[in-house]
Structure 1
């Protein structure tokens, strides 16, 4: 009987290993850095290697698999938890007393997830005197690990990390500050100190309790020193994290928050007078049904790439990069991709009419349409500089107009400005029309662009009235973020709304070279179920 249990346990590990890609293995290695020595982890090549090390240290065995469940939960591979008999809820409930991954380690991992490729380049430039000269490229996790090995980063030594965050993207500092606040708060709770004494930590010597992972231990002298240093920053951190919220709440249509399930219907704005209620993200979303996505044919993906315009509108340099990566990613997801270039307004509508009548659509799981062009409020431009309303484009695929796609998800991603052109930065251009050609028209919201029927999703590159940005070599912020997040999160079993929330977060943290121009994407939808793309068998193309 015991042998049967052991075999079943090892088979579970094998199945989990087969579902984890290279990036997930790297994440697991990093999260295990406090449990297993760097030297042992250097030899790791697969998830199996990590499982063996955890078992050797008696963190993982057939009677207790929680450490593995925690690791899978941390890297958001929630679909694998069932292999161990866990759910997201049960892991969450037990983390506070059974968790082994420290808050410090998880903070660094969360930080690495927020660091864009551009941020990483800047960080490596700032650290060029500390990095090996032959080193030309590394991931954010590898950079953080290197800093730790060089004693430049530790739980009680965050100064260099904070300086880098400030220099490359101040938004990253919020993750560090949140961690510091939680440490101070936890130390206060364990030592029964009143909240009002928080700011006086730097003036008092105290011996309290500090929780690390699932254990409770006395504060060491170094931890006590850290708590004192953290105390002096409490007021500033509180002001930065919470004091500015009221100021911006009324002006933003949608701001992404990091939650495990980020299913947010952004058709309805958040009022400054009515703060958003925080509820258990598992209570409703887990009960949602999912769209059928296991048919023999996944679907079609149309890409309309308008690059050269007939009149005064500028060429959309960098747009071909977007079209290329969209084609790669949606092909990887199993869709048949059709790309069209430089279409007039009339040709765009004609294409929609042709595709809605295709009988082949009835055998497909879904339909995707990506439009890359210049735009104005509620519309996109054909190369003849005539507007096509987004609502018109989508209405061709309503259940009445296109019964073959009835009750199937229809996704539209629009990369185009939705407002006036702004002054261009050196390497940034706005997907807006010439100011002299701006018509006077009523502002159209994304929710008004969606047909009054179910099963639609509209992903807009920017909120209404604003421009969206495009790098003349690397493509647009929105499309590049969308493709990156699809490649990262589809293998983790995330649904499309969760992925688009991650896209919102990614793009919202970007800025032009001067740090003055920002962008906020906005999805709107009438989906009735969760949309989860099946995990492709092969890794995404690099």
Structure 2
């Protein structure tokens, strides 16, 4: 196989092992009808509703999850989460998990939404007597001759009718005020957490929203008035490259090709490049601390860090297959933690999966209008990985939750495109955000040999000025090294 994914559970194959099938069969045999219905409900946001309606057993659900690549022999966490949610804790050991292990990883890997969790918790606490009262209160909203079998059936019906959504739970509040204050408390907790998350985002990253609006406005108006970061000092800056190739259970073939290209390009751009290979999670944290304390940053214009590894949502793996949060890595270089880099641009380029989902091709009318700005802003979950302080750029190979692809000989789609566009556009005086937009376009046009898999990179930033690399006097590496 010539292509790999940069997830820690790489080398996942469609033909799962016999042992894995045996595990699933054993788990299925220990789940009763009510458990299957609960699993179906919790998977509503992950699987197509029409397919879920045809489910008759737990094995049917497992097959659907495998078909969508949510579940495989190398990554069974979603199933472990589902079993944890429905309180089938004794079955977790069949997947190598315990209740405590699942709890520890839910924050990083959990896929069941807070909304779905809240509804399921409600259903578990609605007694038969409460259900009768709720049905009586909602009789004008229910089809005639409809008889509910369970609280889950009722919630699903309300969702189908559009009366209940993650952003509108008013109908539940209305009935719970009468039926049970305890149920109402569950809903209030969900709403409070949801409101706090939105408020925290606005408070933590106000400059991101302003910069995004400002950048789009400048592009549309052709503004040339934005100032640029100072890049005319005696030393450009340091570029760290962390190249994790050899893991306990896999090897990231082709990553050395990426590292070599990055070394050549950033050396050409005037940076002092330092490459580190096969670092554990502890090694990575120690390295960040070392570079945070380096006094030589004071004489540099900028700082660049490239990480090539496996990853999960908001994190990358060390070769010991332990996660390191991207936010933690970047926090070493904030103005307070690294004063020598205060007000200077700090660029992070991450080649790693951010989940296990696969992006599929969508065929569009090329004459259709693009989405408005508000819809574009809604697609930036990686803002959560950016520290509050300004002057950071985080450029991810893929959007949150999805895989990124790497050819075992030619390197990754993202790093190939990044190096190519830097060489092409830096000599033209383009700023880094314009270059990354073209990187997005390049990668978005690529497709797997099967024609079924796509990838979309994602930059996010807190820059206050334009970042423009000075034009090197030497020719680009692609002209110096044939076959780049």
Under a length normalisation based on structure 1, what TM-score does the superposition of the two structures give?
A: 0.44
Under a length normalisation based on structure 2, what TM-score does the superposition of the two structures give?
A: 0.50
Structure with the larger RCO, 1 or 2 (CA within 8 Å, 6+ apart): 2
